[in-house]
Amino acid sequence: MEISTLKTGSSVAEPREVAVDIQSLNKWYGTFHVLKDIDLRIHVGQQVVVCGPSGSGKSTLIRCVNQLERHQDGQIFIYGQEVGAVAKRLHELRRDVGMVFQHFNLFPHITVLQNCTLAMRRARSIPRREAEDIARHYLERVRIPEQVHKFPSQLSGGQQQRVAIARALCMKPKVMLFDEPTSALDPEMINEVLDVMIELARDGMTMMCVTHEMGFARKVADSIVFMDGGRIVESAPPSEFFTNPQNERTRAFLRQIL
Amino acid sequence: MNFNLDFAIASLPIILSALGTTIWVTIVSCLGAALLGFTFEILRRSSRVMSYVMRFLIDFIRSTPVLVQLYFLYFVLPFYGVTLPSYVVGILGLSLYYSGYLAEVFKAGIDGIPSGQFEAAHALGLRRLDIVIFVIAPQMLRNIAAPMGNYFVSILKATPYLAIIAVPEMLGQAMEIASDTFRYAEPMLTVGVIFLVLAVSIAQLVRLMETRLLKSAKR
Q: Which of A80, A78, A16 is nearest to A46 (CA)?
A: A16
ipTM value of the model? 0.91
At residue A180, the pLDDT reads 96
pLDDT-based confidence at residue A126 (cuts at 50, 70, 90): very high
Angle between helix B19-44 and B48-62 (nearest 10): 150
A92/B117 touch (CB, cutoff 8 Å), yes or no: no
At residue B119, the pLDDT reads 97
Rounded to whole angstroms, the Cα distance separating B198 from A179 reads 51
Q: Which of A103, A152, A171 sits opposite B124 (nearest CB)?
A: A171
Asked whether B74 and B165 are in contact (CB, 8 A), the reply is yes
At residue B1, the pLDDT reads 59
Q: With 80 as the cut, is the pLDDT of residue B110 above it?
A: yes
Question: Distances in Å between the alpha carbon of A102 and those of A165, A197, B36?
Answer: 11, 14, 36
pLDDT-based confidence at residue A139 (cuts at 50, 70, 90): very high
Strand partners, A177: A99, A208
At residue B213, the pLDDT reads 76
Q: With 70 as the cut, is the pLDDT of residue A11 above it?
A: no
Q: By the CB < 8 Å criterion, does A98 face chain B?
A: yes
Asked whether A225 and A51 are in contact (CB, 8 A), the reply is yes
Rounded to whole angstroms, the Cα distance separating A58 from B36 reads 42
β-pairing verdict for A175-179 and A207-210: parallel
pLDDT-based confidence at residue A222 (cuts at 50, 70, 90): very high
- Nearest residue on chain B to A164, judged by CA atoms? B120
> Is B151 or A85 the better-scoring residue by pLDDT?
B151
Contact pairs from chain A to chain B, CB under 8 Å: 79
CB atoms < 10 A from the CB of B27, how many?
14
CA angle A13, A18, A20 (to 5 degrees): 135
At residue B219, the pLDDT reads 45
At residue A87, the pLDDT reads 65
pLDDT tens per residue across span A240-254 = 999 999 999 999 999
CA angle B8, B9, B11 (to 5 degrees): 65
pLDDT tens per residue across span B69-103 = 999 999 999 999 989 999 999 999 999 999 999 99
Q: Which of B115, B100, B9 is nearest to B56 (CA)?
A: B100
At residue B166, the pLDDT reads 87
pLDDT-based confidence at residue A170 (cuts at 50, 70, 90): very high
B125/A152 touch (CB, cutoff 8 Å), yes or no: no
Q: By the CB < 8 Å criterion, does B219 face chain A?
A: yes
pLDDT tens per residue across span A186-205 = 999 999 999 999 999 999 99
At residue B217, the pLDDT reads 53
Question: Distances in Å between the alpha carbon of B89 and those of B72, B171, B183?
Answer: 10, 17, 30
At residue A86, the pLDDT reads 65
Tell me which amino acid residue A20 is: V
- H/E segment holding residue A161: helix A157-169
Q: With 70 as the cut, is the pLDDT of residue B104 above it?
A: yes
pLDDT-based confidence at residue B216 (cuts at 50, 70, 90): low
